[in-house]
Amino acid sequence: MKTNLSKQKVIEAASALFFQKGFHGTSVRDIAEKANVNVSLISYYFKGKQGLLEYAVTDYYEKYLDTMEEALEHYQDLHALDQLKELIFIIIQYKQSNHQFSCFIHRELSLDSVFVREMAVTYLAKENYFISRAFFSVLDKQHSSINDRNYLLMQLKGMLITPYIMHNEWKNHIIGDGSHDLFVTNYVKTIHRWLDFLVEVSGEKIAEDAHGR
């Protein structure tokens, strides 16, 4: 296990097993056998199963947040709505390209555990900052009610995680990389249409309010 490629094999094996059997249902030996490495090497590099989990989660979220930040910077000159749409595409594309681990993480986040609290304090807070800032930049001038904006943000965040919480609903439709790409394209389009409708309705409400005055 001298190369990063070998270490990546262990992470990929662990991701698949955590997804299939859960963290507690997976042993270090299971991971070693699937990755075709010696158990002692996993202990040496990751200090055991918990260390491997922490490494994998940290790697997942750091790359995820870097991808989001890069997208926001790259598309900063776009109209706020278009920038948000690009960010949504990047989010779903990243989660889908790491499908099994995305499902595992979101399943764990649905539980009240130390794992959840640690993620909330670190990575999830930053993720929420990026998403809410992009979303509110679209709605700030359209929605005067803070509650309205927060409820709508909750709906958007729900759409971003639903495929990875309810993956059994559509798992039979995902066969191979091509179908993953197709899912990203089609699912993102549905979120974009929701946003377009939201902005359209908001514009009509503003016009009605102005006319009423």
The predicted-structure confidence for 128-186, as pLDDT tens digits, reads as follows 999 999 999 988 655 556 668 889 999 999 999 999 988 776 655 565 667 888 899 99
The span from the CA of 31 to the CA of 44, in Å, is 14
CB atoms within 10 A of CB 84: 26
pLDDT at 112 over 70: no
Structural domains present in the chain: 1-46 (1.10.10.60), 57-212 (1.10.357)
Its pTM stands at: 0.85
- Distance of alpha carbon 166 from alpha carbon 121, whole angstroms: 25
CA angle 169, 172, 174 (to 5 degrees): 105
Supply the pLDDT for residue 211: 46
Higher pLDDT: 180 or 82? It is 82
For residues 70 and 94, is the Cβ–Cβ distance under 8 A? no
